[in-house]
Amino acid sequence: MARTIIVSNRLPTKVRRTDEGLAFAPSEGGLATGLGAVYQQGDNLWVGWPGTFLADEAEQNQVIEQLANDHMRPVFLTEDEIRDYYEGFSNETLWPTFHYFPQYAVYQPQLWAAYQAVNRKFCQAVLDVAGPDDTIWVHDYQLLLLPQLLREALPQSTIGFFLHIPFPSYELMRVLPWNRQLLHGMLGADLLGFHTYGYMRHFLSSVNRLLGHSNQNGMVEVGQRTVLVDSFPMGIDYDKYATTAASGEARRLEQEYRQAIGEDVHVVLSIDRLDYTKGIAERLRAFELLLQTSPELLGKVTLLMLVVPSRDQVEQYKQLKEEIDELVGRINGDYRTINWTPIQYFYRSFPPEELAALYRLADVALITPMRDGMNLVAKEFVASKTEGRGVLILSERAGAARELSDALVINPTDTEEVARTLHRALHMPPSEQQQYLASMQAVVRRYDVHNWVEVFMNRLAYIKIKQQVMATD
């Protein structure tokens, strides 16, 4: 029977080494939730790296066995591969380039060689389990070469690809060495999905200018094959967020936090992974400007800023962490009083029930990335506001801004605009908050992650049928 195989750099389960041996923990990402219904069915599978270096064959076998029960098949990476393919080419070449930070990008042939080799390794891992009739859905920027590698080995198979980060304009792509090989790699898929129409257009433009393929309504002729390119904005598990936020535990925690912060203090919430794409330092400067220009808010507003540790061995991330530490220290030093802290800053991750309580508690969510493929936090905040109060401030450069046009949409580089918008959000009448939230909730509820999977899979089936019809014409 034909199967569906999901492939991504990371598996939806994380393996960690502890004093008691290996520990397995589910990752809470939206992708795992959305695709749960797919890969856990029948003989379907998820192929990916379990997130830890495992040199020992006994440990590897333990992981293979354990994950097999949950429909997962691990790809093991060596320490060199983790450094050169993952931390190197993926995170220091592609990530900055695709997020419009080419000044942070490194272009090194040995990283490119590792990227190619690991994409081949993933290909072999998929071929070990896939048959010619299977549907294979590849995810994200770490595996751009995989669709074409699979196509060569399984010419008839059905291959989908989805990019979770932005696809940059041609002007960025033209700077990237190996750009043609990367595009060619992606075009091995039958269907290529992006979060927004804009990313899709950028991709088509690069394909046209670098490879000479034009398109008609998103259909690109590649040799004998027709490849479909389309946008599929990813959603969240709306019901899960709404239910968790309405639970007794979330309410209890919210009250506890509220008492600690003060009944009449407005809470502005920000949540991101530590990353230069997220605009964290600029956000802090905007908050400082708000305090400078709105003395009536002193003692009346607190920024709760959660930064989830990430890549902090990389130089740029280390520097960013220092910059954030300094800014928070300076602003708190200038403004804090015995019973008020302007910025409550946490550099760690939180369990989901605490996150739900924070979403409940927040009067304003301040989401100001410089670039972000989608930004699921914006949608989670909207879904969690079951009482109909709360204001979302959202960067125009997050993919989510396309759908959430009833947010207060700002340019994250414009510190004055962000400060002004914060002021407006903190003074917005409840009826207006309710109106904006209701319309955003309708969108986020309707286009949830289950709908996203369904629509993508339907389009993939459609293009396969279309290809067959065109072949017989």
Residue 350 binds to ligand GDG (criterion: CB under 6 A): yes
CB 409 within 8 A of CB 364: no
140-169: contacts with ligand GDG (CB under 6 A): 164-165
Out of 32, 228, 271, 320, name the contact with ligand GDG by CB under 6 A.
271
Given the rule CB under 6 A, which of 151-159, 183-191, 348-356, 418-426 is the region that contacts ligand GDG?
348-356
The single-letter DSSP state of residue 297 is: G
Distances (CA, A) of 230 to 197, 200, 308, 372, 391: 7, 6, 32, 18, 31
Amino acid residing at 337: T
Residue 352 binds to ligand GDG (criterion: CB under 6 A): yes
Alpha helix stretches (DSSP H) within 130-237: 146-153, 170-173, 179-186, 197-206
Strands 45-49 and 72-74: parallel
Residue 244 binds to ligand GDG (criterion: CB under 6 A): no
Distances (CA, A) of 101 to 310, 328, 367, 398, 403: 18, 24, 19, 15, 25
Cβ closest to ligand GDG, residue 154 vs residue 393: 393
413-472: contacts with ligand GDG (CB under 6 A): none
> At closest approach, how far in Å is the CB of 372 from ligand GDG?
4
Q: How far apart are CA 425 and CA 266, in angstroms?
A: 10
Residue 47 binds to ligand GDG (criterion: CB under 6 A): no
361-380: contacts with ligand GDG (CB under 6 A): 372-377, 380
CB 225 within 8 A of CB 189: no
Residue 28 binds to ligand GDG (criterion: CB under 6 A): yes
Q: How many other C-beta atoms can be found within 10 angstroms of the C-beta atom of residue 293?
A: 12
> At closest approach, how far in Å is the CB of 373 from ligand GDG?
3
Strands 266-273 and 364-367: parallel
Cβ closest to ligand GDG, residue 134 vs residue 272: 272
Cβ closest to ligand GDG, residue 305 vs residue 419: 305
> At closest approach, how far in Å is the CB of 15 from ligand GDG?
18
Cβ closest to ligand GDG, residue 167 vs residue 436: 167
> At closest approach, how far in Å is the CB of 374 from ligand GDG?
3
What does the block give as tokens for 99? 């997020």
Cβ closest to ligand GDG, residue 27 vs residue 40: 27
Residue 412 binds to ligand GDG (criterion: CB under 6 A): no
Amino acid residing at 54: L
> At closest approach, how far in Å is the CB of 280 from ligand GDG?
13
> At closest approach, how far in Å is the CB of 278 from ligand GDG?
8
Q: How far apart are CA 197 and CA 60, in angstroms?
A: 41
Q: How far apart are CA 161 and CA 143, in angstroms?
A: 9
Q: How far apart are CA 146 and CA 51, in angstroms?
A: 19
Sheet holding 364-367, edge to edge: 343-347, 301-308, 266-273, 364-367, 391-395, 408-410
Cβ closest to ligand GDG, residue 170 vs residue 350: 350
- Point out the residues that are catalytic: 164, 372
> At closest approach, how far in Å is the CB of 95 from ligand GDG?
9
> At closest approach, how far in Å is the CB of 381 from ligand GDG?
9
Cβ closest to ligand GDG, residue 157 vs residue 199: 199
Out of 26, 29, 132, 309, name the contact with ligand GDG by CB under 6 A.
29
Amino acid residing at 225: R
Cβ closest to ligand GDG, residue 54 vs residue 374: 374
Cβ closest to ligand GDG, residue 134 vs residue 275: 275
Residue 234 binds to ligand GDG (criterion: CB under 6 A): yes
Q: How far apart are CA 83 and CA 278, in angstroms?
A: 23
Distances (CA, A) of 83 to 110, 111, 120, 243, 451: 11, 9, 17, 40, 36
The closest of 162, 163, 158, 164 to 136, measured between CA atoms, is 158
Three-state secondary-structure class, residue 47: strand
> At closest approach, how far in Å is the CB of 238 from ligand GDG?
13
Given the rule CB under 6 A, which of 6-14, 111-119, 259-267, 344-352 is the region that contacts ligand GDG?
344-352
Sheet holding 45-49, edge to edge: 72-74, 45-49, 4-10, 135-139, 158-162, 191-194, 225-231, 219-222, 215-216
How many chain residues touch ligand GDG (CB under 6 A)? 21
- Contact positions toward ligand GDG, by CB under 6 A? 28-30, 164-165, 234, 271, 273, 306, 308, 349-350, 352, 355, 372-377, 380
